[in-house]
Structure 1
Amino acid sequence: MLRRFLLLAVLLTACAERPLSQVRGEVHGRTGGPGTVAVLDPDGQRLTSAPLDRVGRFTLPLPEAAALDGVLRPSVAPALPGCTSQITASVPAARYWVQDRLTAFPTGGPASGVPLISEDRSSGQTTQRLIHRMYVYASAATRVTGQSSCPAAPTTRYQMDLKAGWNTVAAQQTRGSDTVLISVGDDGFERWSVAP
């Protein structure tokens, strides 16, 4: 009986979802030829980059842990003036990097690049819904819960179960409601567009 239990545990561990290592996507509504797509640090330096083909497709490796040493932060909430947060993590020593956009550098385009976002907007007669996908790097597996508030902005609630490494997270908001950040795993959504 113990042997069967151990075998089941090994199989479940082998099938567990692994952290992300790359982002595959296509930039919709884009004009221009080939170029590159990149993850930038706060100073605009490239942490990683990959070719962007002439129709906007790319496979971008996410930055390795060593490349993130200088940018990891003690909280997933942005450190903005006037904002307050009450966020807890099951592993208090965990550090994070939130990547909510990529940057495209089309050949012949602006040297500063073009910001790309991954969003899904839907609207009905009474509701509007926005799902903004982003990537969160965690230095350790941890559960992050709580909320942050900023003046003149909806409250952001955090309900994330993060693996050590890169994770896909969705910020969901329905018109007038709080924003909720949840772990979603790889949902196959690969559409990117130029940020407005």
Structure 2
Amino acid sequence: MPEYTKDKIADTLMRLLANKSLDKITVKLLVSECGISRQSFYYYFQDILDVTQWLIRKKTNELLQKSLKQEDPRDIVSLYVDFAYDNKEMIGRLLDSRHREFIEHALMDSFRSYIQKLVLFRSPETPLYISDLESTLNFCTYGLTGMLLEHIGKKQGNRELLVQQMNRLLGRVLKKTVSDTGPLSLTDVSTI
């Protein structure tokens, strides 16, 4: 039952974000739209930002889990692009709020986790120094997140072109990093 209530609150927030800025959504409005008491709301969440954080973590974790089940890197990049386009209005309203930095970091954390797992678990025999892995993760994470956010902000964005570009860039960077570096031990991985 607790997960159902949390999901209901988060789903209501998503619905409200289709028409309102996060800064305009209050606990009073959310509980009214959700059909629950303020006491119930505060049992699960501290404030609107807490719901937002929980919602973003949940959605990006679901996205990460789906991406890890895919075999083709192109399908994985496509999942992220489709997620961004399908949630374009919500992402835009969240980014237009005073919590922009948190939203960007949540998206970057999801990309970073995916890229890290792609490198480490899909190619465990790949030689790579830990410092190179860290730099590659940062470079790809910031680059891909920036490309995605910029692209969905455009009125006439081309999903397929974005998927092709991101996939090509990610593949080239990872291939180049792997070919130019040395070994990565499994003990080094725990520090990432």
Q: TM-score range by the shorter chain?
A: under 0.3
TM-score, structure 2 length as denominator? Answer: 0.25
Higher strand share: 1
TM-score, structure 1 length as denominator? Answer: 0.25
Higher helix share: 2
